[in-house]
Amino acid sequence: MEILGKTAVVMGAGSGIGRGLARVLSKAGMNLVLVGHHRPPLEETASSLMGDSIIVKADVSNLEDVQHVAEETIHAFGAAHLLCNNAGVGPFAATQETTIEEWEWVLSVNLWGVIHGLHVFLPLFEAQNEGHIHATASESGLYGVPFLAAYNTSKFAVVGLMQSLERDLRATGSSVTSSVLCPGATNTHLVDGERPVAAQRDVPVSEKTDAFQEEVARVVEDGMDPETVAECVLEGIRKKQFWHFSHDQVPQTALKQAEVMSASCKLSQL
């Protein structure tokens, strides 16, 4: 994919991998459309970029907001060429502790945000006969971990959606390409994500959940730098790779799980 002088739309650009993507893509010569729920973090990202950029305040869980992002992008740069569906939230709670409000919040951002991006930008990319759609999933989209039921579910769904999209694009002979990122521990602010009023908890989570969240926070703090992860994404896009793995242990763990599934299948046939 040609990068220089093209335009990238980065959802969730105010922090973490989104900010890393914006910086790396800007260094590569792309124009940036920085999208997020709060303007100050987006302004901080914009101040660190090398090229042209605009800020669009939007909630990816709202289809009209994403349509507005596309309109502002076309108005500012004439076209969009790369969409990074990157916005994500992840509250900690065991499955039996997760409230309906939390389920709705996580799925509205992590899954419906990606669906809205596809719905709005895929027709634009196909009409111009050029474009790439990228989604940030997680290692939690390949194998489950405790105390993150809603997050796991949303990321598994994103991986499945992107796999289906990739096959549909090839089957229909589309010029649009796609990819999905499944990173391991990355130094982001996901653990500290702000909940909307609708998803506030009336009942605290268990002590075990709190302990696990503290442990994850330590792992995340020591995790890979978001810009290093973003560089893996850019390299993968340039090489037209569908799967992007910033951490070697992620595909290795997924393969081990597949081996366990295969062994279980053989045992069930005895």
Kindly list the catalytic residues.
Answer: 151
Residues 249 and 184: beta-carbon distance below 8 Å = yes
Maximum separation of any 2 CA atoms in the chain, in Å: 63
Supply φ then ψ for residue 68, to 5 degrees. -65, -40
Q: Is 207 exposed, middle or buried (0-12, 13-18, 19+ CB in 10 A)?
A: exposed
Dist. CA 133–CA 176, nearest whole Å: 8
Dist. CA 225–CA 230, nearest whole Å: 9
Dist. CA 158–CA 12, nearest whole Å: 16
Helix axes 16-27, 39-46, angle to 10 degrees: 30
Nearest of 131, 92, 87, 132 to residue 111 by alpha carbon: 87
Helix axes 16-27, 226-238, angle to 10 degrees: 50
